[in-house]
A and B are shown apart, each in its own frame.
Chain A
Amino acid sequence: MLTIKDVHVNVGDKEILKGISLQVNAGEVHAVMGPNGSGKSTLSQVLAGRDGYTVTKGTITFNGKNLLDWSPEERAREGVFLALQYPVEIPGVNNVYLLKAGLNAIRKHRGQPELDAFEFLTLVKDKMKLMQMDESFLSRGVNEGFSGGEKKRNEILQMAVLQPQLALLDETDSGLDIDALRIVANGVNSLRSKERAVVMVTHYQRLLDYITPDYVHVLAGGKIVKSGDKSLALELEKRGYDWIKAENVAA
């Protein structure tokens, strides 16, 4: 589904990603871990099409097509979703409007009819139950006055409504208490299927207790320095990142 080949990314003049390759197939869950400043967030931003990141080398394809050719909205319509580390507050644009406009743009792109107000609300309310969110959230401004945990839940709610093929989670677990973490994980797990893939960027093993990854990658210094299965995450939790860096230098 997603093929990243030898991708180098600059922010300004500084090279942040220095040759990343990653293959993500439908049905898989990948965790990308790594120390601060290793380029984890850069990877997810580049995939979602954020301005200010220049791919200087390498290719990224999504279902065989060049992802880098697409604007952020085209990526979303093709089925890429990024849950942000810091969701934006947008007073004056309400949640329900954002969800409806986004969903209908995506459906239109897929050649599906737009949902009418009733079908839409039924869908959203169903997903809100899953995320244990109060219906009053709908009429509020996007993330306006939401707590950190509410913002993260709202990200997963959007994901559950938009039903992407590829879900990218950028440190979705940061700042969550244990109950909120369980709800968020539950939302992500409900989306797991043979047709979908999840790439989660995280600092901590904690999230992986709830969302079991098929693969774990360690990103350090702008490169993937080690890949393995979920046992790698446990080892990282125990030993930190230094041994991998040391191993990498030695090699």
Chain B
Amino acid sequence: MSALPSLQESSLMVSLRAAFAALPKPAAAQLHAWEQFNQIGLPGLRDEQWKYTQLHRLYSQSFALKTRTPVITADSSISISEVPSGITHTGHAFEALVYALSEKKILIAIPDDAVIKDPVVIDFNSTSTESSINATRILIKAGKNSSVTIIERYRGTNESAHLNIGVTDIFLGENAQINHCRLQNENTNDSHVAIINVNVEKNACYINHHFNLGGSVARADINVKLEGAEAYAELNGLQFAAGNQVHDTHSRVEHCVPRANSSETYHGIADERGQVVFNGKVLVHKHAIGTDAQQSSRNLLLSPRAEIDTKPELEIYADDVKCSHGATIGQLDNTALFYLRSRGIGEQAARALLTLAFADAVINKLPLAALREELTQQVHSRFGNKVEHAS
């Protein structure tokens, strides 16, 4: 019986060690994080949190370290700066790796009471022709009573394989509002591992729109802590895996205080040999009475070789709470398909139309018409020219 090559000796690990060793002058925080990363180790196939993610695809590749600097467009009242990373503790291997590899983090600070009309756009584009690993840390602080829309866009415009890993920390002060749109459309050789940590204070409202469309293996961990009464978090997501893509979202919503609410809507589409994974954890702490948490995971399986793994996980320690969850996996409605075809629409186009309708339920939640248009186009383009664009 031949064992898998040890993770320690995998190509990825070897190239990471080389990359870290080549850092000219790692800060103390980076050294600390590197140690932590080595202690945690890369997740193995038996690791419950990673068992569907197909990380072995990454482990057989090697990457050189590059910095992918995002282009940020923002209103002039928002301060953008680079600050030292600082020491942070984590139990998450890739989070530790991001900390180890990034000397600085980008701080985006929205002043108190600022209501920002134009969205902050953070644009990542992998243009490097080398197989490279990019690590990015972003910290967003929304002052009290502020309101802003943030668009993180990830694209890859060449065919080289990149491993893009990033941590985004978000703090919402009292009564702040953030509409956070995360559009992952990397090239299909790229891999993407993202960790988003959000703290929501009293009366604040955090809305996340997560579109997992591109990449080969694309994983996102979205961790939200509701830390003030009447705080609200809404997580919406669309994952669409075709070819041999793997799209994996793990959400974790923690209700730490009484009377905070959360709502999650995740749609997954798996076509060809694609795989969509959703794991949604809701944790209601002992004192969080009056919590209202809803979660829905709906999935469309379009091909016999595609795979969908969805798992709601509720952990409730408080009485007097309202928590609901639902997970479905289905196929396109045959009656609807026949109906469209009986009106002259070809089978492929009819399938595409119904799939788009399923995706639209999430796209339509986006806050800006231009974004809705952009995402509709992107999902359309997945079907080639089978559907003309709806006017």
Contacts and interface: CB of A to CB of B under 8 A. Distances in A.
Interface of A: 48-51, 71-73, 75-77, 81-82, 84, 87-88, 90-94, 96-103, 105-106, 109, 117, 141-142, 158, 162
19 contacts: A49-B342, A51-B334, A73-B341, A75-B342, A77-B344, A81-B342, A88-B333, A88-B339, A90-B336, A90-B339, A90-B357, A92-B357, A93-B353, A93-B356, A97-B390, A101-B353, A105-B345, A105-B346, A117-B391
Given A87-B339, A90-B340, A97-B390, A73 B357 contact: no
A176 B354 CA distance: 29
B343 interface: yes
Contact of B342 (A76, A91, A141): A76
Contacts of B344: 73, 76-77, 101-103, 105-106, 109, 162
A82 B357 CA distance: 23
Contacts of A117: 391
Counting from the closest, the 8 A-B pairs by CB-CB distance are: A92-B357, A102-B343, A76-B344, A72-B341, A105-B344, A102-B344, A88-B339, A73-B341
Contacts of A141: 357
Contact of B336 (A48, A88, A100): A88
Given A101-B349, A102-B344, A109-B344, 11 more contacts: A48-B342, A71-B347, A81-B342, A88-B339, A93-B340, A98-B340, A98-B343, A101-B344, A103-B344, A105-B346, A162-B344
Nearest to B353: A93
Contacts of A142: 339
Contacts of B47: none
Interface in B333-391: 333-336, 338-347, 349-350, 353-354, 356-358, 360-361, 387-388, 390-391
Given A51-B334, A71-B347, A101-B388, A76 B357 contact: no
A96 B388 CA distance: 13
Contacts of A87: 339
Contacts of B334: 51
Given A51-B334, A51-B338, A97-B390, A158 B343 contact: yes
A46 to B, nearest CB: 12
Contacts of B350: 73
A163 to B, nearest CB: 11
Contacts of A51: 334, 338
A75 B346 CA distance: 11
B347 to A, nearest CB: 7
B342 A72 contact: yes
Contacts of A109: 344
A94 B390 contact: yes
A84 B340 CA distance: 12
Nearest to A164: B344
Nearest to B340: A98
B384 to A, nearest CB: 16
A7 B352 CA distance: 34
B312 to A, nearest CB: 24
Nearest to A109: B344
Nearest to B359: A92
A105 B350 CA distance: 12
* Residue with the greatest number of chain A CB neighbours at <10 A, chosen from B334, B345, B346, B390: B345
B390 A50 contact: no
Contacts of A90: 333, 336, 339-340, 354, 357
A5 B356 CA distance: 41
Given A92-B360, A92-B361, A82 B342 contact: yes
B345 A92 contact: no
Contacts of B342: 48-49, 72-73, 75-76, 81-82, 84
A117 B390 CA distance: 11
B237 to A, nearest CB: 17
Given A88-B336, A90-B354, A102 B345 contact: yes
Contacts of B335: 88
A78 to B, nearest CB: 10
Nearest to A94: B390
A52 to B, nearest CB: 9
B319 to A, nearest CB: 37
Contact of A50 (B338, B353, B354): B338
Contacts of A99: 343
B216 to A, nearest CB: 29
Nearest to A143: B339
B343 A162 contact: yes
Nearest to B334: A51
Given A92-B360, A92-B361, A72 B391 contact: no
Interface string B30-62: 000000000000000000000000000000000
B346 A73 contact: yes
Nearest to A84: B339
B358 A92 contact: yes
Contacts of B346: 73, 105
A142 B346 CA distance: 17
Contacts of A81: 342
A73 B390 contact: no
A93 B390 CA distance: 9
B267 to A, nearest CB: 11
Contacts of B360: 92
Contacts of B357: 90-93, 141
A91 B358 CA distance: 9
Nearest to B345: A101
